Structure 1
Amino acid sequence: MSGPGRQHPFVEDRMDRKPITWYIATPADGIIEMSRQAGTPVNLATAVGDVVRHPSPCRNKWYDESSFSYFRMVKRVGEALEDTGIWPITWPVRLWNVEPLGETGNWSPRHYPYRLLAHQIRVLEEVDAHMALGPCGRDVLTVVQQEIPERAARWAAARPAAAAGGRTPSPWRSRTTAASRPPRPGSSTSHAAPSTRPSPAPTPA
């Protein structure tokens, strides 16, 4: 069958695919933490636009011969903070868009389809690190960087004054006092205590 709406079968299967974006997370100084721990620090902050070769690549691909056998990258940006060697994870971190070059591999494409290992990368650019915290990353950062420190300061300031007055500081005071306060007479929560007085003996007929 032919006609103006009919395309060649090979043309129908041809689709534009968006290139995969790969990410590597580092501490604030831009050095891959595992490379620092291995004694061969690799700084991505000073290599934007450059090709970076692994300083001591493993020979038995793709196994961990050391803590830093290859560059580890992920295509799921929400996984970028895992398996980085950064522990405990302290903010700020930096997030880099990299391009794997040469031979690449994986521990198991079936179980780790979003991870990639390589001995050579090109550092393309630095991107907003909030993406590593998920789709609500900016809101998470607001809570971590602003709301928690502000509330912690208020709670710390309220504790000495509360301790001097013999009471529990806010925000816990309202909860504990409400639980320990006896019910008011006539309220729906008040209940008369059961009587312990014996019942009177029946009058003989």
Structure 2
Amino acid sequence: MAHQAPDSFMEFEGYFQLKSYRNHAGGQNTAACRASITPLDKWFQHFIPVNLSHARHTGVLYNPIFAVSREKIRQYPKSMYEALLMEILRCTAKEHEGVAEAGHYLERAWKPMFETYRPLAFKCSGHFGQKKGDPNCCNQTGFIGLPWTICKEDRPTCSGLVQDSGWGTCIPADWGWREDRCPASITSGRAARHARRLGAT
């Protein structure tokens, strides 16, 4: 998917609702056609067969221009797309000027729907045991803002975070290297076996 800042992260805001909308700054505030289920996280769980925790880790992209393979589209049943279409078509009344809350929900659903699920490479900013508001890991400035970017107990160490440049990766406590940036010097032993399993080079 296109992104003007590849290393930035835009949160999947499960609490999001759209009760009214303006097409431009200073424009008239128009009542939106409400989705059949609100807020965003409840709507997502009802219409999209994707775990909500995955949506929180992938985040969203506010960009309707992207490429997706036929295989990724067909991983979901036709009935899901039909239900989404009917949800959008509910809001064709002229008084809403095409402002459908469900359309904004769907925009936020594309990335979680089609981005490859990578449970071993969740982006992180804090070690297991930290909490929202604690300082970022890896001797970086700033504070943890998203609780789901804190590593879980099975992969407790956040490694490689660079403030304003790139997220860290959650790794097991006994690994001394990053799974997404495996150095060429790793050629033997336990680390090499992990590298081959993950397809690293």
Do they fold alike, i.e. is TM over 0.5?
no
| TM-score w.r.t. length of structure 2 | 0.23
Judging by fraction of residues, say which structure has more strand.
1
| TM-score w.r.t. length of structure 1 | 0.22
Larger radius of gyration: 1
Judging by fraction of residues, say which structure has more helix.
2
